[in-house]
Amino acid sequence: MWTILKAIWHSQRMLVYPSGFDAYPRIVDTPAEYSMPYEDVQLVTKDKVTLYCYLVRKDNLEKTRGTVILFHGNAMNHGDMLSRATKFFYQGFAVLTLEYRGYGHCKGVPSERGLCLDAQAAVDYVTSHRTLRDLPIIIYGQSLGGGVAIYATYKNINKVSALIIENTFTSIPDLVKGMPLIRHFSWLCTQKWRSLAKLSRLPTSLPILMLSGRSDEVIPYTHMDRLWAVAQTRGCSKNKKNPSNEEYQPPQKDLYKVFLYGSHNNTFLQLDYWETIFHFLETVLE
């Protein structure tokens, strides 16, 4: 038994971040393959890890509507997000595709703490950019990237204009509790990603869009339902203390869209997916 417990304890990073342990060389698509102008961006995190990212943008950034920071899933690299980046780019947005430590061409070993530092480096880059700093910031995350996105928004609430999450979890321990064989070992999780708790602390003034594939075979859609339920009562006295005693104002611009045939990795291909996103952003940026 102890051997099994030790194996779970030491191997869980490989289970949570599988593509962060892929053998080299690794294939990472570039925006040029999608006919998009871009520049290679190297971010240096607080703990001195170098991240190799892309900034997809037009030459004239003054005409850009905002910047979308894309956080990808655990079995991907940032090049796999470029098909999504094209949608934002051709709607007038600049896009930063963040690569995590250990993923793609980045060195290092992925961990919750490490990815949080990576996310902060991405936000710091955008907010210090001479042109992008004056534009709205939209945070977008899918799967594990949803957890990273919620964290980045939570830590930079005064800098983010909108949050978009797709097919993500309430926390890693909650996800493990739903697995028949290992549910009793959820207490061993060192990678927590407690998104539900962070989401409950976001202000109601922040617009949130949630996109849920009801045929998700990896993360049960009930996680998205729980996230939505908490999002709709965030700031309420039953969810958190309100020391200012201000009158509670429910979220006004939040939106929850479900896709009956959306699986974990193809929800973004479903009918009305992108129409929903851009309708939401029109409301946010009006």
pLDDT at residue 242 in the model: 46
pLDDT at residue 175 in the model: 87
Within 10 angstroms of residue 52's Cβ, the number of other Cβ atoms is: 16
Query: Could you say which residues of the chain have pLDDT below 70?
Result: 1-11, 178-189, 237-247
**Under a CB-based contact definition with an 8 Å cutoff, are residues 52 and 104 in contact?**
yes
- The partner residues of 95 in beta bridges, in order of sequence, read 56, 68
211 contacts: CB under 8 Å, gap ≥ 6: 164, 165, 166, 167, 257, 259, 262, 267, 268, 273, 276, 277
H helix or E strand, kind and range, residue 170: none
Euclidean distance between CA atoms 251 and 230, whole angstroms? 11
Closest CA to 164 of 18, 58, 274, 57: 274
Closest CA to 168 of 229, 211, 201: 211
Closest CA to 90 of 58, 62, 122, 60: 58
**Under a CB-based contact definition with an 8 Å cutoff, are residues 219 and 226 in contact?**
no
SS3 call for 137 = strand
Euclidean distance between CA atoms 210 and 123, whole angstroms? 21
pLDDT at residue 180 in the model: 56
pLDDT at residue 264 in the model: 97
279 contacts: CB under 8 Å, gap ≥ 6: none
pLDDT at residue 188 in the model: 56
Q: What number of residues does the chain have? A: 286
pLDDT at residue 61 in the model: 75
Euclidean distance between CA atoms 44 and 50, whole angstroms? 5
